[in-house]
Amino acid sequence: MFLKKITTIKNVGRFKAARISGGEYGRFTLIYGGNGRGKTTLCAILRSLQRNEPKLIQRRKTFLAAAEPEVGLLLDSGPARFSGGAWTAAQPDIHIFDQQFVTDNVHGGDQIDVEHRRNFYRIVVGPTGVALAEEVDQLDADATTKQSEITSEKKVLEQHVPAGMKLEAFLKLAADADIDDKIDKAAKALKAVNDGATIAARKLLGVQSLPALPHGFLDLLAKGVDGIAADASARVQRQLAHHDFRDGGEEWLSQGLPHVVDDRCPFCATPLGGNSLIDAYRGYFSEAYAAHKAAIADMSTMLNQALSSTAALRVEQSFAQVSTDAEFWKAYCDHGYKPSGAADRISGEVEAVFDAAKAMLVAKAAAPLEPVESSTAFIEAQATWSATSVELEADVATFAEANRHIQAVKDANAVANKASAEATLATLQAVKKRHSAPVLGLASNYATLLSDKKALVEAKDAKKAALDTYDETILGAYEADINRFLASFGASFRVAQCSKNYVGKVPQSTYCLRFDTSDIDVTKANAEDPSFDTTMSAGDKNTFALAFFLSQLKRDPDIANKIVVFDDPFTSLDDFRRAMTAKEIVRTGEPSKAAQVILLSHDKFFLDAVRGMIHGATCTPLQISASAGGSSVEPWDIEREVKEGYLHDHMRLQDFAEGRSGDARDMRMTMRPLLEKYIRYRFPNQILEGKWLGDMLAFIRDDTAHPLTPQYNELDDINGYTAPFHHDPNTPFVEDEVRTYAQRTIAIVGGC
C-alpha cells in the first residue's frame, strides 16, 4: 500500500476547505506543521481509513460547518474517499505511531491499566495470536451466553422439582413404564399406614353358605314304605270315617292291633287271615310308616330353616357386607374382587324355591305313601336359583385371591413406617413428574444446553491451549526485540517476565520493567512502592512506547506492503534518543521494509535530520500551512526553511515591527523560533540541537558570565508572552501587543 497523494480534505478540524498542492508523495514523506495546524487530524484520517471507523472523522467535523466531512486520498490501488459518513473501502495496511497509539496500547501517562495490557497483548501476538484469542473470546462469550440460557432454564425447571430434592437428582430419575401402577400402590400403602387401626379391625372377605334344599328332599317326596299298600292310609281313613271315628280313632285302632291272637279278631274271634283291611291297619301303624311320617315332618322343619326368608336375608346381607368391605379395601390394594350383582336376587329367588318346595312337602304329608312329582313352579324356581348360585359361587371363588392381597396389606401395615411410605410415594411421583409434560420438554432442552455449553468449553480449552503454546514462543521473542530497541536508545531499563493472564477472561500481557536487578510489576500499584509513574521519566515512557511500536513493525511479516506513520515520535527525548529515533525511522523505510514512511513533526530541524539520513529513496517534504481560512497541505522548501529561514524570518518580523507589512497572527509564532535560531547560531558549541527557548534561558540563568545575561529579562518576557500561542494557536491576541514584542525581539537580535 502506498499513499500517492491527499486530494481532498473538507470540514475536518482546521481543514475547512484545504488547498492541496504539489505532486505525488515519495517513499519518505515529511510533513511539517506547527502545533494546532492539523497533524493529529491527518493521523485521525489515516486511522479512520485503517480501522474503517467513520466516527474518528465525524467527531472532528469543523465547527459551524454546514456540510459533512469529506476526504479524498489517492492510493497505489486507486482512490479512497470518505463521503456521506463512510469510506469507499477500508485499508488496514497502515501502522500509526502517535499519542493515540501510546494511550490505547502502552500507557496512559501515569499508569498501565488492564486495557493497555490487553491491547499490548493483541499487538504482540499479531494476527495469528489475535485470531486465536478472538476465537477463545468468542467461545467464552458463547459459553457465557449459553450459561445464561442454562440459568434461565434451570430456574424454570426448579419450579417443578419436589421439595427436598436437588435438581440434579431429579433430572437423573429414570423413566418407568409402570409408574402409574406403582404410584397407585404406594398411595394405597401410605393410606393404609395412616388408617392402621381401621385396617387391623377390618375383616377379610367372607359370606355364609348359600341357601339350598335340605339333603334328600326330592328323594323323600318320591319315597313310600316297603310292604305297605299305597292306598293303606286312604282305606284306614275311610274306615275311620265310616265308623264315625273322630279324635282318637287312630289311637284306638293302634292299641287294638297288639291284642290280635292267633290271627283272630279280639272282639269276635273271627279269623283275620286274608283280610286286606287288617293288612292296611298293620302297615299304617308300623314303625316304618311312623318313621316315614316323622321324616316328612322333620323335612318341613329343615326346609323352613334352610330356605326361610330370614336365612335368605342373612346370606344376602353378608354379600352386601362383602361389597362394602371390597370397596373399603380398594383404597389400599387392587384385590380384584368385583360383585356380580347376583346377591340382590337371593331373597326373591330363595323364597320362590321355598314356596314351591313347601307346597310339594304339604302334598307329601297329606299322602305320605304317595310319590310327589316336582311341580312346574318348583322346577322353574329351582333352575333360576341354581343359576344364581353358580354366579354367587364364582364370586365366592374370587375371595381367596382378594383376601391374599388384603392380608398382604394387613401384614405390611403391621410393620410399616409412615416416613418410609411417604418417601416412597414422593419418589415415584417425582419420577412421573420428571417424565411428563412440561418437565420432559424442559429437561430435554436443559440437557441440550448443558451439552452445548460443554462442547463450547471444550472447544475454548482446546483453542486456549493452542494460544498458550503460540504465546509461549512469541512473547519471549517480542521481549527480546523490545529490549534490543531499548538498548539502542540507551534506555536504563528493560522489559522482563513477559507473560499473560486471563484476569477478566480476556487475555492480557503481564510484564515487569527491570532497572538493574529490580523489577517493577506494571500490573500492580501501591502508593508506597516504586511504580511505573514514579520510576519512568517522560522520555523513558516515550522511548518504551516507541520501542514497542518498532518491535511491532519488525515482526509484521507483511510490512513491505504497509504504510508507517510517525507523529512527533521524539517527544521529551534527549539529543541522543532524538538522533536514534531519526535513524530508526529511516531504517523503517529501507528497501524490503515498509512500503512508505510518513513522518509528521512540528520540528523542522528533526525533519531535516531525517531527510539527511535518507539515501537512494524519494523524499517528499510537505507542510501544513495555516491561514484565517484554515489549514492546507502544500509543498515545503525544507532547505530554505532550515538553512535560510533565520534571515527570512528576521526580515518579515522587522517589516512587521516597523509597520510595513505582515500578519500579527503569523508574527506571534515567529518571534520565539527566531530567538532560538539567533542563540543557536551565535553560540553553536553551547546549545545543542533540539533545545527550546526555555532550555536556553535556563542555560543562561545558570551561567552568570554568559554574554546574554544582560538581556535575560527581555528574553524571559518574550518567552512568557509567546509560549501560550505555541501551546494553543487559538489563544486570543492583541495586534499592538504582538507588534510591541516584535520590536523587543528585533532589538535583541539587531542586525546579526
Q: Is the pLDDT of residue 227 over 70?
A: no
- The dihedral region occupied by 630, where left means phi > 0, alpha psi between -120 and 50, and beta the remainder, is left
pLDDT confidence of residue 126? 64
Segment 127-169, tens digit of pLDDT? 677 788 788 888 988 999 999 999 999 999 999 999 989 999 9
Segment 477-501, tens digit of pLDDT? 888 888 898 898 888 888 888 777 7
Cα–Cα dist 623/638, whole Å:
9
Q: Is the pLDDT of residue 664 over 80?
A: yes
Share of residues in the chain with pLDDT > 90 (%) = 47
Confidence of residue 752 (pLDDT cuts 50, 70, 90): very low
Segment 548-582, tens digit of pLDDT? 889 888 888 899 999 999 998 876 667 788 889 89
Instruction: Catalogue the long-range contacts made by 176-181 (C-beta closer than 8 Å, 24 or more residues apart).
Output: 176/428, 176/431, 176/435, 179/428, 179/431, 179/432, 179/435, 180/432
Q: Is the pLDDT of residue 535 over 90?
A: no
Parallel/antiparallel/unpaired status of strands 596-601 and 28-32? parallel
Share of residues in the chain with pLDDT > 70 (%) = 87
Whole-model pTM? 0.52
Which of 27-41, 249-263, 322-336, 662-676 is predicted with the least confidence, judged by mean pLDDT?
249-263
Average pLDDT of the residues in 401-418: 89
Q: Is the pLDDT of residue 325 over 80?
A: yes
pLDDT confidence of residue 157? 93
Average pLDDT, the chain: 86
Average pLDDT of the residues in 332-342: 90
Q: Which residue has the higher pLDDT, 520 or 163?
A: 163
Cα–Cα dist 649/655, whole Å:
10
Cα–Cα dist 478/718, whole Å:
47
Segment 594-646, tens digit of pLDDT? 999 999 998 888 888 899 899 889 999 999 988 777 899 999 988 767 655 67
The residues near 79 (Cβ < 8 Å, ≥ 6 apart) are: 7, 72, 73, 88
Spatial contact of 323 and 343, defined as CB atoms under 8 Å apart: yes
- Return phi, psi of residue 437, to 5°: -70, 145
